[in-house]
Each structure stands twice: as C-alpha cells, then as structure tokens.
Structure 1
Amino acid sequence: MPEPDTGSGQEEGMSKTYHADPSYRTNAHMPDYYEALWRFKDDPETYWAKVAGELVWEKKWDRILDWNPPYASWFPGGKLNVTVNCLDRHVNDGKRNKVALIFRGDDGGEKVLTYRQLYREVNRFANGLKNLGVKKGDRIVFYMPFIPEHVIAILACARLGAVHSIVYAGFGSEALHARIRDSKARFVITADVSIRRGRSISLKSIVDEAIVNASTVEKVIVHRRSYPPIELYAEMEMDFNDVMKGQSHYCEPEVMDADDPLFILYTSGTTGTPKGVLHTCGGYLVGTYYTTKYVFDMKDNDVYWCTADPGWITGHSYIVYGPLSNGATVIISESVPDYPDPGVWWEIVEEFGVTIMYTAPTAIRMFMKHGEEWPDKYNLDSLRILGSVGEPLNPEAFEWFYRVIGKSRTPIVDTWWQTETGMHMITTLIGEPMKPGFAGKPLPGVEADVVDKQGKSLPPGKTGLLVIKGPWPAMMKTIWNNEERYNHYWSQIEGCYTVGDLAVKDKDGYIMILGRSDDIIIVAGHNLGTAEVESALVSHETVAEAAVIGIPDPLKGNIIKASVILRTGFKGSETLSNELKYHVRMTIGPIAMPSEIKFVESLPKTRSGKIMRRVLKAEAMGLDPGDISTLED
C-alpha cells in the first residue's frame, strides 16, 4: 500500500480522500489495518485471547467463545470484576496519582479526581449501597445529571455486581416509569436538579412521579445540589453523601462470571415499548477496552473528551468503561455547546489541552452555523484525533470539522456502532485514508457487509442492508425479558445480525451508512422509535391515530413531523398542535417533540393495516413515493 500524502485532500471519484501525516500510522497502536485483519482471520480466538490477556482476570477463561446462534457466551469460565480493571489495577500500577476525571460544570466550576481518589469514592459508595442491602443482580435505575457522582455510582454498582440501568435525564416521567417497571428496579439514584444554561431543572419531581405504582422501588438516593437542601422523605429517600458517610475506602469487588449482566440500557424500537439491551461483563469490557485503545489510539498522556451523556451507550462505552479500563484522563462536562456562548467547548479544549475529542454531527453542524470565528478565538493545537458518533457524518460537516477544528492535519474517526453492538464496528483507523461520507471499514474482529434481502453480498455502489456476520465480544447478550425481540435481529437473514441500516460500499471496502431501514428516527444523534412517539400522541384524549416520520434537518440530522387523525368532535388548530407537542415533550422528553403536526383525515396503509411512512416522507420531501401497489387506497 503506498505511503499516504501528508495532509492532502485529493479527488477520488465523486468524493475526496484525505491522508494523515505518516507519523500517525508509524506511532499507532495498530499501524497496519491489513496485518491486524489477517491475524484475526487466521486465528480469531488467539486474536481475542491476546486482547483479553491485557486485562485482569480473577480466573482465566476456559474457552474464548461458545457460539450457538444467535446466542454467544464470550470467555466462558472466566471470572473478573470490571472495576478492578478500571480502578484497582491503575492504582496498583503506578497511576494512582494520575488524573482520572476532570469535571467542568455548567457554571464553569471544576472538580478533579485522581485514580486514587476515584477508587476511594467508588469503594465508599459501594459499601454504602451494600449496607442498604444492594446485592449482585439487583437492578438500579439512574436518572442523574452528568456530574462526577454519576460515574462514581455507576462504578459502585459494577463493584457489587448490581445491574445499572441509566435513563437519560431528558426523558419524561412516563418514559422513566416504563424503564423502572420493566427492569423491576429496587433502587433509583437521582439528583435534586440538573443545571442547564444557568437554570436548575428539577429531576427529583420527575422521579417522584415515575415511582408511583412502581412497587419494586425500595429506596431513592438523591444527590442534593441546591441550597438550602430539599427535604427528603425519610422512609424512602436518602441523601447521596449520607450513603457514603463513614464508609470504608475499600469494598471487596464481587467476582463476576464473564457472562454475568453488567447493565441494561433501554433503546427505542419499532414497537412502542423500549427494549432493554443487556450487556455482560467479560465480552463487553474486552470490546470497549480494545476499541478505545485502537480506534482512538489511546496513549498514556492523552486528555480525552467525549461530549456524550452517560444515558446513551456512548457514555457507557466511551466515557466510563473503555477509557477508564485504558487508564485515561477523561473530561466530563455538564455544559451545553453554546452556553454561555458558542466558544465554551473550544475554551475547554484549550484550557485542559484536550488531545482526543469525540462528539456528534449535530454539534458539529451547530458550530458550522455559528461560524469559524468562535473556534478561531482559541488555541486548538493540542488536538491530535477527532471522532464522530451518533449518526452518519455528512461530507460537509466532515470538511468543516477537519479544516476548522483539526486545522487540516487531525485525523477524524467517524464511528458506526449501536447500543446493541456495545463497541465500535466500522470506522477509519488512524493513518488510514479518510473519505468524507464513508464511516470506513469493519474493524479487525468485525465481519460486516452490505447485502441484499437474501443475504447475498452486493458489489460496490449498490445500496443494500448492513449486516454483521458472526459474533463479536461486546455484543448484547439478549433483550431483557424479551428473547423474541433479540432473536429478531438474527432471524431476518440467515447467519447475519441485521442492524436496520441501509448502506453502500466502495471499491476499497469503505462503507457509507445511508440511514435507517426500519421505523427509527435519529434526532440529534439519539434513536427514537416511531411507535414510541406515536403512542405518546395517541395517549392524548383528542388523537385517534398518528404517524411520525423524520425529515432531514441541517442541524439535528432529522426533525420529527407528525400526521394526526383526531377523534370525532375535535378540530385541528394551532393551539391543539402546540398542546400535542407539549404532551409528547412531557411524556417522552424534549428530543421527541415533533417540530410539525399535520392534521389529516387518513393515513397511507397497506391492506394489512401497516402505515407506509415512506409515502408520508416522500410527500413531505416532494419525492416520488415509489411502489404504492400495496396501499389499501
């Protein structure tokens, strides 16, 4: 393969190809993609055994993989504790005084925790939870702002073998209630408020509503940030700091089987009920450790900042478990990208010398709107790697990110993966040619392809279904309490995990993700099931039926448009439209709120009654709806 050109952008067909400085490849943990790919294909089990061998195991595994499609058990017989790999080993291997977390608050306040300090706080909170009766296998739901206490509590759960289920603190009480009920959570951990744009937003009041008729909840633990502190109901509520008070700085880690549950994360599906994706300890940790090390080329002196929230899989894999298992210095921030001004993130990069920044296309497009003058006010020379996550990075955003933030020298890793996959699956490794619009190639260890409906591999330039052939370490174990939904991923095309995305590959094997092939809308990088939003609309007393679609938006990627049929006796109006938007906001959360509501007399349906949302989308975008022969009318 020829040596890359330094910092150049050259035409290749209809797209450009960018090359990083040769030093990136020379110094990378994985300097040769094809050599690593060859090693994996030659002996997959030895490949993964080498990665897993870099972690700490209480007992080594008996085998690498038991694969009984569609079920996988990674590292069966192996025993470990995830927090030993994220904390203890660094404290004992000379990194105890290395900074683990740097927190920047919405008000500019800061808090720094070394690995020793984080270790002690996690152990104290774990002991406090143990005193409350928390044990291995208990489910604990989180509804917290992004503060250090959030990370401390996550790791404390993992220390004890309790299964955490984090709910994004932008969801409404009904969404939170559904997740508490489905997981049968014993405990809820929250805060009185989150701070956003200088304003306090009550979280505790939403939790109060959510636990009504949630009979499994025994205690609510509240981190009180406001002064004077809010009163707590002594019979059921406890202060976060009181849980830790007087506790020992050491808690014996629960020895977990590799296949034991680590967390449940609920994600939107194509039916109204969110699905609880279950990840286990061994394979998930190996996958997130591996991808953090090699995709971000994580070095000991890096300062790493992922701008996601722990409520999403990105926060689990690439704020907590992946980076901390690599002994990284991780920045966490409660700040939004444009408050108090659109320079706040670039100030953080300059102030802390961020070397790796991982963010979403939505944020990049927002910065594009505000112009280059804001990032140009700050010194961004510390950046050596940029990353993108959450949705396809469109070429225009890639070009701007590369040129304005990366100064036409910093590689961009555009990552494709899912809550269900747990780890990066497709990207462009450091030192490999970058193609705007293309995420890249499957990572060594991942067998991805673009196929037709029969599973036949398609040639370059042909649009098809993106699939993963065979298992990978961080794959979900199952869907909580719903084996049928898990099996659905593997039943559509024989021998393949069908991801639900349309894609196309080029002659070099680079894959471009074109968007969802099912009823999922990606808004600002967050997956929303059409059925979940439709169910929220139909729960309003005026609505008989609803259908929602995603319409491309230059800032959010997509916005939601709803078509609504009203019950007899109700009439559409601007007032009712606003009321329905607010109703969705309160039911699910702000990210699910439709931007537009259209009142209609009927919806396009097949003869079997399925709403054909693509017809609505084609109409909204002025496109040909394609084959409508299956329409009832």
Structure 2
Amino acid sequence: MNPAELEDLEVAWSPDPADFAGTPAGRMAARHGIATFDELAARSVSDPEWFWAAAAEDVGLRWLEPYDRVVDLSGGIEFPRFFAGGALNWSDYALDRWVDAGAGEVEAIAWEGDDGSTRSLSYAELLALVEQVAGAFRARGVGRGDVVALYLPMVPEAAAVMLAAARIGAIVAPFFSGFGPSPVRERLLDSGAVLMVTADGFTRRGKLVSMKETADEAAAEAPGLRSVLVLRRLGRDVPMTEGRDEWWDEALAAAQPVAVPEVLPSDAPCILLYSSGSTGRPKGCLHTHAGLPFKFAQEARHGYGMQPGERLLWLTDMGWVMGAYLVTAALTNGGTAVLFEGVADHPTPDRLWSLIERHRITVLGLAPTLVRILAGMGDEWPDAHEFPDLRVIASTGEPWNVEPWRWGFRHIGKGRAPIVNMSGGTECGASIVSSSLHRPIKPAGFNGNTLGMDAAVVDPDGKPLSQQVGELVVGAPWPGMTQGLWDGAERYLETYWSRFPGRWLQGDFAYRDGDGHWFLLGRSDDTIMLAGKRVGPAEIESLLVDDVDVVEAAAVGVPDAAKGEALVCFVVLAEGADAAEVTPRLQEAVAAREGKATRPKAVHAVAALPKTRNGKVLRRVAKAVYLGTDPGDLTALESPEPLAAFPRA
C-alpha cells in the first residue's frame, strides 16, 4: 500500500483501557507509579536503564550474583554489556526457579507429531531431562564456550538440548530440520561444533525425512565434530559411526545429571543463530544468557500478556529464531510451549484449526504467508471451529497485506482475538516495532515501537522523517541484540552500524502515519526504482493479492534498457483461475493505481514461490532465478522444487 492508503486505514481493534491495570505490563507500571501504557512506553525509551532493570525484575530473572550496572558502554554502543557484573543461567530462570517455587507439576511442553502422536512434560520432568542431557554432554567433554549443534525435528528433546547446553555454559547452534547436507556441513564448520544431536528421521506430510543420513554426509567433512547423539524418533535402523555416534537414550541413561547450573556472567554466550544473507554464507548471530532469552520473554509478557497458565503455539522450526522464541517466551513466563512437528494442512486442511482447539491454545504465532495460503483453502475450515481459548494471534517474518490480515482477524481471531504484529529479526533478538494489546491496532501495521526500543524512520542522510518512507533505525542498544557475528566484528559493524554511525540499521523501509502507527514496506535492499520513484515490493504485492484469483505474490525489479529498472511480478493463482485472463488484468490494475510507468513488464503465474519454512517469501531468490544470476545463500529455502519450473527472463 502507498502512504496515502496507509493514512486512510481505520482501527480494526481497540482495547478496553480499564484492562491495562490487570495485565503484566500494567502491574509492573503500577509498581513504579505509572498509570497508562503510553506513559510506560515513553519512559521505556527516555530512561532505558530504568526500563531494562524494571523489566528484568518483572520477568523474574533469577540472579545467581547481582549485577553492578544495567549497561556498560565502555566498548561503544555497538558492543554493550547489559547487567554488567551479574551472573545467571538461562536454564535456571527458565526451569529451576519454577520447580523451586512449587510449580513443578505445571505442564511445560505439550507436543504433537506429524503423525498425530502426543507427549507432555511438566516443569519437573523437563528439568530432570535437561539435567540428564547436560550430564551426557559433560561426559563427552563439552564445556564452557563449546558449541553443540541441534539438528532435530520439532520435538521436546530439542528444547531440552537448548537448555542443557546453557546449563553447562555451552553454546547451542540450532539448524533447520529440513536442511540438506551442504547447509548442515557449512554450519558445522563455521561454528566449530564439537557435538551434534540429531534423530534417526521424522515424517513431514507423512513422508520420511532421513535426518541421520543427512547428518552423516555433513559430518564427514567436519573434523572437529567429536560426538553425535541420535534420538530414536522413528525407531529406524540407521548407520552408526563407531567411536562417534551413540544412541540418545543410552547416553542419557549412563550420564550423571547436572543438578546445579553453571554460574555464568550475564554476557556469556548461550545461543548461536544463523541468519541467511542475500549473498555468501549465512551470518552467525551470537546471543547471551541475559540477552535474547530475556528480551523474548519480556516482549511476550508486556506486549501480549504471556504469563503462567498461557499456552503458546508458534508454527516454526527450532532452526529459526522463532523456535527459540517459542521455548523461552513460554517457559520464562511460566506458561506452556506447544511444539508442533507437522504442517498446518496435513492430513486435512483443518489440521491447524483442530490443533488450536485440542491444545487449548491461548497465543497463536504464525507468518503472514501462511495466513494467505490458509485463506486460499476456504473460509469453511476455520469457521467450523470457535477457538474459545484463543486470546491473541502473534505474527512476524514479513510485511502483511491488508486483506489477508483482515481475513485472519475475522476467521481465526473471530473479530475478538487481535493480531499482534512484530518485526525484528535473528540479529535483533526480538522486535524493534510491534503491536501491543494496550493500544488500538490497524490492519497490517504496528501500534508503536517495542518497549525500550528507540526506533525511528530516517532519510538517506540520517535525518528523522515524519509521514514519509525511510530506513528503520534504532538509536540505543538493547539486551537482545547480537553480540557481534561469529566470524568477527568487521562484518557486523559494516552491516549494521556503518551507514548511520551510532544507529543500528535494520534494513527495512518503514512508514509512520499521523496516528503513530508503523508500517513496514519490505527490505530496503528489495526496493524497486520505477520511473525515478522508490517502490516497496509489499506495496505492489498488496494490490496483487487483493485480486480474488491471487493467493500469493512477489514483486521484484529487473534491469530494463529503457527505464533502468522494470517491475516483474510472480503470482500463485487460486484453483481454477485462468492465468491467460488473470495476468493481463493484474498488469492493468497495477498501472491504474500506481501510474502507467509502474505497469509490470510481466506477470508470471507460478506453482509456488521460493519461501522459508516459516513462510517468508525470498524475493531475491525469485529475482536471481528469473535473471539467471547467482541466488546467493539458499539454505533457508523450505524446498528447491519451486525453482525448477520458475520462469526465466
């Protein structure tokens, strides 16, 4: 959508102001003499040291040694040390403190597999498993600073591996469960992992994924990998390398449990998350015990009220940042993390809808693209379910289009549960802008900067903009930001800090309307220059998916001899739609709204768009394949199949 249309958007959902006082954010605010959310939001930015200290206390970080300073900037704004002098352990404040408080029998993890099987672990049971896994790691020589590779499907053991590594001061590096040998090998080599946990396999849409064989091929060229523990997920016979491979259950049975977590400095690293880059190899983002897990928990608590008794389901994979989000946002707040190994529409189109009801989901997390896909399957599937427990829908990953947002609010949220949109990333360790349940929400947007985040929109010279499109930046550090990149400081500084010194460059085009609502218009490196005008791809895509025959869309700019750059669009059509009739209509629709100069050079109907498993459309890949150029890092792709039949220029 263009800025004029964004200004015309009306509020779709409004809170009752009286509700604020009874929420976690409201109770925290009251303890500090703050009466309203707007006052809390303003102070969180004007006095960030106060806010992060108050938030850490409210979330319940259990300090094993007290901190001296909220933030130490002696290393520069690019390398802050939060809660300097303090010591804690992610495993301890996610699990031990709840068991110590008498909540050990509360359900920590509920799991459902692709095949419909289910499991449940209480906080006490999960803690016992984590202690045993930590002991197995120690028995294999894993200690502080060592990297443990997590290459598992979405099973409870994945959460246990994450927290067990943290418990002994190791660093967990989660890999996407759908990776082939090459991306797994690349990450094993880059991280220097000494131990990997994998499985004999799992099923996706009922089909076997041979995980162990993939792990073996990758590990063959990773000489630093000393041990591989293999989970019996399916009970398959798989090859086992003598001296390196051991069965998970046997290793745990022989291990001495680690009952006492390591006392670690607040800035000790705990998780290495890989973010795919547009070219070259992916970026390894390093996060700390008092960083990303705390920021995740704080946002969930203060943004949409996550607290004990809540049940959070996020459709994701442990290899994506939202896998870690699911585990820590739920457990650090005393709730239940619901892990789903399957997909939303298998074996029937109502799998997700029945899952929400069966597991009594109160907070549902998903990506906008998934909503667009589910909407294309028909209203009748979600409309057959009431979702009586669902309180809020959370989303992230890419910009929304207005009509899919409205569909989700109407058919999933039933006009009752709002969509709380968030945007940040793997490097941010959570969000920069987000919606909150404490302010009115407009479709497809964000009703403010996230608490504690000094966000702004600036022009190419770094000057603040109001009601104009510009770059999204952050002017102050925050606990969740990556502590540099795994391969050193140079790439980190160049990527995030070089263009606007003293400000973090997020790489998104943003717009803030006259009512203070934010909208993201796509990655700034995806910008299309049409007749001298910068156009965000999301603006074009929103128009395209407004057509009843379009399910999904991607817009890219391609070189053009006459114009410099021309617009090319790729669309997935609804079943039964005639491409020969629809695509010319779409060309004319774009020209009619955006002007003749923006008329697409071509609109191609495709079977599928290149996407990540969590639903983010990879425009750069679509563009590169179309032009026959190097598509860069492809490890985030859910499947390479769409590329085989993709149109070429």
Query: Normalization by structure 1: what TM-score?
Result: 0.82
Q: Deviations over 1:195-218 (max 9, x none)?
A: 111122101111111112211111
Bigger mean CA deviation after superposition, 29-38 or 359-368: 29-38
User: Pick from 457, 466, 477: which aligns with 2:483?
Assistant: 477
Does 1:57 pair with 2:63? yes
SS in 1 for 2:516: coil
Q: How does 1:359-508 map to 2 (within 5 A)?
A: 359-460=366-467, 462-488=468-494, 489-508=496-515
Q: How does 1:326-341 map to 2 (within 5 A)?
A: 326-341=333-348
Cα distance, 1:327–1:591 mapped onto 2, change above 3 Å: farther
Matched AA of 2:480:
A
Q: Counterparts of 1:69 and 1:552 in 2: how far apart (Å)?
A: 43
Q: How does 1:533-552 map to 2 (within 5 A)?
A: 551=570
Q: Counterparts of 1:42 and 1:344 in 2: how far apart (Å)?
A: 45
Does 1:198 pair with 2:206? yes
Determine if contact 1:33/1:444 at 8 Å carries over to the other structure.
no
Cα distance, 1:208–1:404 mapped onto 2, change above 3 Å: same
Displacement of 1:385 after TM fit? Answer: 0.9
Partner of 2:97: 89
Displacement of 1:74 after TM fit? Answer: 0.9
Displacement of 1:236 after TM fit? Answer: 1.2
Matched AA of 1:30:
A
Q: How does 1:257-268 map to 2 (within 5 A)?
A: 257-268=265-276
Q: Counterparts of 1:584 and 1:421 in 2: how far apart (Å)?
A: 20
Displacement of 1:33 after TM fit? Answer: 2.5
Does 1:594 pair with 2:637? no
Determine if contact 2:308/2:335 at 8 Å carries over to the other structure.
yes
Q: Counterparts of 1:249 and 1:235 in 2: how far apart (Å)?
A: 23
Partner of 1:30: 25
Q: How does 1:274-353 map to 2 (within 5 A)?
A: 274-316=282-324, 318-353=325-360
Cα distance, 1:186–1:588 mapped onto 2, change above 3 Å: farther
Does 1:156 pair with 2:151? no
Bigger mean CA deviation after superposition, 242-251 or 299-308: 242-251
Cα distance, 1:251–1:187 mapped onto 2, change above 3 Å: same
Does 1:18 pair with 2:16? no
Displacement of 1:142 after TM fit? Answer: 1.5
SS in 1 for 2:209: strand
Displacement of 1:371 after TM fit? Answer: 1.0
Determine if contact 1:141/1:185 at 8 Å carries over to the other structure.
yes
Q: Deviations over 1:130-176 (max 9, x none)?
A: 11111111011121111111111111111111111111012221111
Determine if contact 1:172/1:588 at 8 Å carries over to the other structure.
no
SS in 1 for 2:80: strand
Displacement of 1:271 after TM fit? Answer: 2.9
Cα distance, 1:299–1:322 mapped onto 2, change above 3 Å: closer
Cα RMSD of the aligned pairs, angstroms, is 2.8
Q: Counterparts of 1:52 and 1:497 in 2: how far apart (Å)?
A: 23
Q: Deviations over 1:565-590 (max 9, x none)?
A: 889xxxxxxxxxxxx99x99899661
Q: Counterparts of 2:354 and 2:227 in 1: how far apart (Å)?
A: 40
Determine if contact 2:70/2:83 at 8 Å carries over to the other structure.
yes
Partner of 1:614: none
Q: Deviations over 1:437-475 (max 9, x none)?
A: 212310220011110111101121x11111111101111
Cα distance, 1:369–1:473 mapped onto 2, change above 3 Å: same
SS in 1 for 2:329: helix
Determine if contact 1:191/1:225 at 8 Å carries over to the other structure.
yes
Determine if contact 2:280/2:633 at 8 Å carries over to the other structure.
no
Cα distance, 1:381–1:469 mapped onto 2, change above 3 Å: same
Determine if contact 2:84/2:267 at 8 Å carries over to the other structure.
yes
Displacement of 1:228 after TM fit? Answer: 4.8
User: Pick from 51, 73, 77: which aligns with 2:85?
Assistant: 77
Matched AA of 2:469:
T
Q: How does 1:528-607 map to 2 (within 5 A)?
A: 551=570, 558=617, 560-563=622-625, 590=639, 594=643, 596-597=645-646
Structure 2 unmatched ranges of 5 or more: 27-35, 528-536, 542-555, 557-566, 574-608, 610-614
Partner of 1:238: 246
Cα distance, 1:586–1:64 mapped onto 2, change above 3 Å: closer
SS in 2 for 1:430: coil
Partner of 1:526: none
Does 1:141 pair with 2:149? yes
Matched AA of 1:499:
Q
Q: Counterparts of 1:504 and 1:516 in 2: how far apart (Å)?
A: 13
Partner of 2:585: none
Q: Counterparts of 2:422 and 2:634 in 1: how far apart (Å)?
A: 29
Count of aligned positions: 553
Cα distance, 1:513–1:232 mapped onto 2, change above 3 Å: same
Determine if contact 1:296/1:385 at 8 Å carries over to the other structure.
yes
Matched AA of 2:70:
I
SS in 2 for 1:282: coil
Cα distance, 1:155–1:204 mapped onto 2, change above 3 Å: same
Determine if contact 2:281/2:633 at 8 Å carries over to the other structure.
no
Q: Counterparts of 1:102 and 1:443 in 2: how far apart (Å)?
A: 29
Q: Counterparts of 2:439 and 2:344 in 1: how far apart (Å)?
A: 30
Displacement of 1:344 after TM fit? Answer: 1.0
Cα distance, 1:112–1:314 mapped onto 2, change above 3 Å: same
Determine if contact 2:200/2:233 at 8 Å carries over to the other structure.
yes
SS in 1 for 2:110: strand
Determine if contact 1:287/1:473 at 8 Å carries over to the other structure.
yes
Determine if contact 1:51/1:286 at 8 Å carries over to the other structure.
no
Displacement of 1:350 after TM fit? Answer: 1.1
User: Pick from 162, 172, 180: which aligns with 2:188?
Assistant: 180
Matched AA of 1:132:
R
Query: Normalization by structure 2: what TM-score?
Result: 0.80
Displacement of 1:246 after TM fit? Answer: 3.8
Q: Counterparts of 1:259 and 1:549 in 2: how far apart (Å)?
A: 46
Determine if contact 2:111/2:340 at 8 Å carries over to the other structure.
yes
Displacement of 1:109 after TM fit? Answer: 0.8
Partner of 1:208: 216
User: Pick from 62, 66, 72: which aligns with 1:66?
Assistant: 72
Q: Counterparts of 1:515 and 1:106 in 2: how far apart (Å)?
A: 33
User: Pick from 227, 230, 236: which aligns with 2:235?
Assistant: 227
Q: Counterparts of 2:46 and 2:302 in 1: how far apart (Å)?
A: 20
Determine if contact 1:55/1:85 at 8 Å carries over to the other structure.
yes
Q: Percent identity?
A: 32
